């Protein structure tokens, strides 16, 4: 039920989510086996939606496997980039029927230049209007009458934000618009330091929106360099990513786990939750999630 997401974000203990990309092919079994240790350890799995313009299995379909086989709540990213309003509404109805717990409204990553398939973005709606659509459907109104969703659970609506945006005032202005459109929580781009996180949290507190801070374990130095070079939105975090230069993969993993655990513990009384991102593959994200949850259990005693 979507209420479990709202409840987990409202309690004193921070919620713990793991972000995962669906499989590249048609077989979900391998990834489901890798995610199985998270059962009973995390509050939700957050599924990406063709992130960075790379096609994966339908996130909605993979969400149904997670719900049926693992019983873990699912927060589903939904991108306006790839669908017109009919397709978005159809997927939202499907998510409601499957009991998906939350939906994150995304405008969507840009498609890489020179895409070999000549793909172009749709953008019939943007994140603000998608949030308004979710609110309409949660009220039971499909646009053709208030009848279809009366028996379906509500979809807990969320948005995204970047605490490192150079024009921070504009980022907060957009977050305010998303909150007015219906967002109840926000997932951030990865955070690497306490001052940046707390500056952002001060604004989410004022807006009455739950902040789920992104945490990104860095698997190796090459991953940190890729993020510096290719992910423009993280340019302000360059100093934190530079630390991995020259490290072996083993050193980078140890350093990343230690730094992220410390950051999460420090912010555990401030943030509504954390979502551990698996940009370097799910193994490191799962390891960090299990370690933090052990600490979380100890602290709640």
What ranges do the domains of the chain cover? Answer: 2-296
Residues in CB range of 32: below 8 A, 6 or more apart: 65, 66, 69, 70
**Residue 203 falls in which region: left (phi positive, over 0), alpha (psi -120 to 50) or beta:** alpha
In contact, 74 and 66? CB cutoff 8 Å: yes
Residues in CB range of 244: below 8 A, 6 or more apart: 218, 220, 221, 223, 224, 225, 252, 255, 256
At residue 52, the pLDDT reads: 73
Burial class (CB in 10 A: 0-12, 13-18, 19+), 27: exposed
**Phi, psi values for residue 103, rounded to 5°:** -130, 130
Q: What is the mean pLDDT of each run of 10 residues along the chain (301 residues)?
A: 76 93 95 96 95 86 97 96 93 93 88 61 89 89 58 83 94 97 96 96 96 95 84 77 90 94 96 92 94 89 57
At residue 86, the pLDDT reads: 94
Please give the model's pTM, rounded to 2 decimal places.
Answer: 0.92
CA distances to 4, 50, 80 from 85, rounded to whole Å, are 28, 18, 8
Helix/strand/coil for 105: strand
CATH of 2-296, picked from 3.40.50.1000, 1.10.10.60, 3.90.1150.10, 3.20.20.220, is 3.20.20.220
In contact, 234 and 190? CB cutoff 8 Å: yes
In contact, 182 and 131? CB cutoff 8 Å: yes
Please provide the distance, in angstroms rounded to a whole number, between the alpha carbons at the two ends of the chain: 26
301 vs 299: CA distance, rounded Å: 6
Both tokens of 48, joined, read: 């990406």
At residue 2, the pLDDT reads: 43
Both tokens of 207, joined, read: 């807006």
At residue 1, the pLDDT reads: 35
At residue 152, the pLDDT reads: 59
């Amino acid at each position: 039920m979507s209420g479990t997401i709202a409840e987990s974000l409202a309690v004193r203990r921070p919620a713990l989510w793991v972000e995962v990309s669906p499989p590249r092919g048609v077989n979900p079994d391998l990834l489901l086996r890798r995610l199985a240790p998270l059962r009973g350890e995390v509050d939700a799995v957050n599924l990406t939606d063709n992130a960075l313009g790379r096609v994966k299995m339908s996130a909605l379909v993979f969400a149904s496997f997670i719900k049926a086989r693992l019983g873990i709540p699912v927060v589903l990213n939904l991108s306006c980039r790839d669908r017109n309003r009919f397709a978005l509404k159809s997927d939202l109805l499907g998510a409601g029927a499957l009991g998906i717990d939350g939906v994150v409204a995304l405008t969507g990553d840009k498609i890489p230049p020179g895409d070999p398939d000549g793909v172009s973005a749709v953008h019939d709606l943007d994140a603000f209007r998608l949030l308004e659509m979710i609110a309409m459907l949660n009220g039971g109104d499909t646009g053709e009458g208030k009848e279809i969703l009366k028996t379906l659970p509500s979809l807990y609506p969320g948005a995204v934000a970047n605490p490192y945006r150079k024009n921070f005032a504009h980022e907060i202005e957009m977050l305010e618009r998303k909150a007015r459109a219906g967002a109840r929580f926000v997932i951030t781009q990865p955070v690497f330091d306490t001052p940046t996180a707390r500056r952002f949290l001060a604004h989410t507190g004022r807006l009455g929106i739950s902040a789920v801070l992104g945490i990104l374990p860095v698997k190796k130095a090459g991953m940190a360099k890729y993020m510096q070079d290719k992910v423009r939105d993280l340019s302000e975090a360059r100093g934190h990513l530079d630390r991995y230069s020259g490290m072996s993969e083993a050193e980078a993993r140890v350093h990343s786990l230690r730094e992220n655990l410390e950051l999460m513990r420090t912010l555990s009384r401030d943030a509504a939750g954390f979502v551990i991102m698996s940009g370097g593959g799910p193994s490191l994200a799962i390891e960090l999630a299990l370690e933090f949850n052990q600490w979380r259990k100890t602290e709640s005693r």
